[in-house]
Structure 1
Amino acid sequence: MKNVLLAFLAIFISSGISTAQDIILKLQPDEHPSQERNYRFDQVLDARSKTEVGKLFDAQRKTHNLTFNGKLAEQTLALYKSKIKPSHTPSHLILVKIHNLDQKETYQADWKAYKGEIELKLGFFLIGPNEPEHLVDFQSKTNYRRPINQPHHIEPAIQKLFENGWKYFDDWIRSQSMGNRLLAKKVRINIIDPVRKSKADTVFYDPDRPLTWDDFKESPSSLSSFNATIFSSLSIEGNASIENGEIVQNIEIKVYMIPSQSWVKHANSYASNHEQRHFDITRIAADRMKAKLKSMDTDPYLFDAKLNDIYWDAYREMNRIQELYDQQTRHGLDKEAQEKWNILISEALTGNYQSLDSLLDKVN
């Protein structure tokens, strides 16, 4: 977002400049900040391509470099800090980048005067645990005209530009505090995990609707020594909204099998149970993921990364349990091992993970 503020200043200063030395500029902080805010200016970076602000002509038509002598960043920080009284625990730390501060003036013969322009461009960023997040830009210009024999002292105009920059940012952050995701203070998780109706191309997990061999539609692989194969998996989908400065994150969990990638050679009830238990394991992995989601740290800065980690941890755990299940039952051929897994899986489906966790610990 950008804002362009145009102002016309006609300031006549009677003081003269007789030598072509640099003019050192300075920003003046406020003495008594009176406005309390829930943010704090923490850092200012001078990102300009040149250190000079511009050049000013004196009465003898000599030019003088305008400069902050390398102190623009610290003076800007002091000025902006002086504008507010941060709360004891500010929610947001702000970085300001000075992209451009440029002054130019030209002689107008018909007016026997100089016409000048000062331009300022700032970027405001939110400081977090990772790279600073861009919030908003401010860009403004100030025009002036002065007689040739009355050099303009430019400090007040630059001071006003920087003050306008703060005012613009302050108005912006207050207007955005309740609806901008970057400014949210916390995240509220809403987990959506209903029993879904299956479709022709997708069978969703339903405890009241066990798999049937009609769900295995792929032609059996002649190269495989297995009697049956099921493709089951889990996924999460989400969308977020902002309510009163809080991120409401909807997380939709899906547990499903794909008929077009699942097949059987010799259909029987024993083999059906083995494949159903594969599907149950996928449901268990989703349930364990859901428990972690409910207890996760909801710091807005870290939320997306933690959500991603929890999902991939669950996905890897699902695959690990599936492989262990097939390894120990020898893909269902070991009936004694199969019965042990039947009990373990049934317990885990009720939320009792003691046997499963004990087994996973042993094979670590």
Structure 2
Amino acid sequence: MNKVMGRPIPAVVVAFLCVIIFFPSILNAQKINGPIVLTNRQLTEKVKEFYIAGVNDDRAERNAIAILLPTAAPYDKYKIDVKDGAAVALKRFADYAIQPNKTLRPVNIRIKKLKITEEPINNNQVGGKLEIELLFELKKDFGPVKLVSYPATTTYTRNAAQQYDLGVLLSRALEGGLNWFNNWINREADTNIKLAKSVKLIFTDYTEQPEGDTIYYSPKRPLTWDDFKDKPYGNKYVAEVLPGFGYTEQAEVVQSVVVVRISMRVFLPKSAAWVRYEGRNDYALTHEQRHFDIAKIVARHFQQALLAMKIPADNYDGYINVQYLDSYREMNQLQDEYDKETGHGMNGAAQARWNEMIEKDLKEVL
């Protein structure tokens, strides 16, 4: 079984932004004792693909996020944190920025880094740096699917005697991350397989021109004794064929739908078919043709079973693989029953019954 997948599934994408800003309007002459309070902000672009289902704080060290310099002596650094904790504060911020619409894709945010540090530049100035990394993942029943990582760094400079409004600083940084992810998912929604919402299967029957060693099933191309190229084995039967079926697969995402094109291959290798000289008659050839017909019928059962399923976009290949194995077992079982009941063609009455059943089934699947 050969599988040829379509557009490769991308690894987790990483974005990196570095912004140098200076906002005199958010300087504050008073020392910030904490906690840091975020300011509500709504995204400028409409959100139509997702909502924030949850926020997790995955920082390696969950200490207070800010290590700051005071505006007056003593100049020992001190720590402050976000009000209610990083995860709660960010979820509240996200719910205001993006009105939750649970008909859209549920997205979780994992806070991988959130840190504000200050260092003296000279006697009159202090330099600050905000480092943030947000991992966005799609929430699924079987577990989260990583989508994209957003790391960014923002720096600022303040007068040593004036403190910076960190609530505004952090709120702007979070707004920037949500805007960035909104733009990313708008671009990716139609073609990224991780974001696909449904599956469409398209089946075709493979043909080969010119014909080689392998015969691919066609109602217009019945077996002939010239197809039996192998040397005879054993002494129990006058002829034998070994048909099978498989498929090749190509997948692409079109407007959030995984379109899977499956080319069915019901085949019989000439090099695996043999006949004794004394067995070359129409009755024996019909028996061997029925083996090939059974493979075709079960291949169509495989197709029908998949088309009747509601296949999830995030595990379509697993469903196809499982059904293929089930159908192949069905084929082997039917081939064994056929040979057992007909006595490998020696029981004429049983052979006639199977001929009738197989013809009926072929009419339904061809």
Structure 1 and Structure 2 fold alike (TM over 0.5): yes
1:24 to 1:85, Cα distance in 2 relative to 1, 3 A: closer
One-letter amino acid of the structure 1 residue matched with residue 327 of structure 2:
A
Aligned ranges for residues 134-145 of structure 1 at < 5 Å?
A: 134-145=146-157
> What TM-score do the two structures reach when normalised by structure 1?
0.85
Counterpart in the other structure of 1:169: 181
> Which of 231, 241, 255 is the matching residue for 2:242?
231
Counterpart in the other structure of 1:55: 67
Is the 2:130–2:155 Cα contact (8 Å) retained in structure 1? Answer: yes
Counterparts of 1:254 and 1:243 in 2: how far apart (Å)? 25
Is the 2:118–2:127 Cα contact (8 Å) retained in structure 1? Answer: yes
Counterpart in the other structure of 1:113: 125
Counterparts of 1:226 and 1:49 in 2: how far apart (Å)? 71
1:135-188 CA deviation, whole Å, 9 max, x = no partner?
Answer: 222111101122333333422222211111100011111222222223333333
Is the 1:38–1:86 Cα contact (8 Å) retained in structure 2? Answer: no
> Which of 151, 154, 164 is the matching residue for 2:163?
151
One-letter amino acid of the structure 1 residue matched with residue 350 of structure 2:
A
> What TM-score do the two structures reach when normalised by structure 2?
0.84
1:247-274 CA deviation, whole Å, 9 max, x = no partner?
Answer: 3221211111112233333442233222
Counterpart in the other structure of 2:4: none
Counterpart in the other structure of 2:285: 272
1:187 matches 2:213: no
SS class of match (2:163): coil
Counterpart in the other structure of 1:358: none
Is the 1:41–1:93 Cα contact (8 Å) retained in structure 2? Answer: yes
> Which of 325, 333, 339 is the matching residue for 2:352?
339
1:282 matches 2:295: yes
SS class of match (1:287): helix
Is the 2:18–2:154 Cα contact (8 Å) retained in structure 1? Answer: yes
> Which of 271, 274, 282 is the matching residue for 1:263?
274
SS class of match (2:259): strand
One-letter amino acid of the structure 1 residue matched with residue 338 of structure 2:
Y
Deviation (angstroms), 1:325: 1.2
1:18-50 CA deviation, whole Å, 9 max, x = no partner?
Answer: xxxx74333344489994534221111111101
Counterparts of 1:335 and 1:297 in 2: how far apart (Å)? 43
Is the 2:108–2:138 Cα contact (8 Å) retained in structure 1? Answer: yes
Root mean square deviation, CA, Å: 2.7
One-letter amino acid of the structure 1 residue matched with residue 288 of structure 2:
E
1:70 to 1:232, Cα distance in 2 relative to 1, 3 A: farther
Is the 1:240–1:250 Cα contact (8 Å) retained in structure 2? Answer: yes
1:239-298 CA deviation, whole Å, 9 max, x = no partner?
Answer: 123333333221211111112233333442233222211111000001222222333325
User: Highest relative contact order (Cα 8 Å, sep 6+), 1 or 2?
Assistant: 2
> Which of 98, 106, 110 is the matching residue for 1:84?
98
Counterparts of 2:42 and 2:224 in 1: how far apart (Å)? 78
Is the 2:192–2:256 Cα contact (8 Å) retained in structure 1? Answer: yes
Deviation (angstroms), 1:194: 5.3
Counterpart in the other structure of 1:204: 216
Deviation (angstroms), 1:127: 1.5
> Which of 254, 258, 262 is the matching residue for 1:251?
262
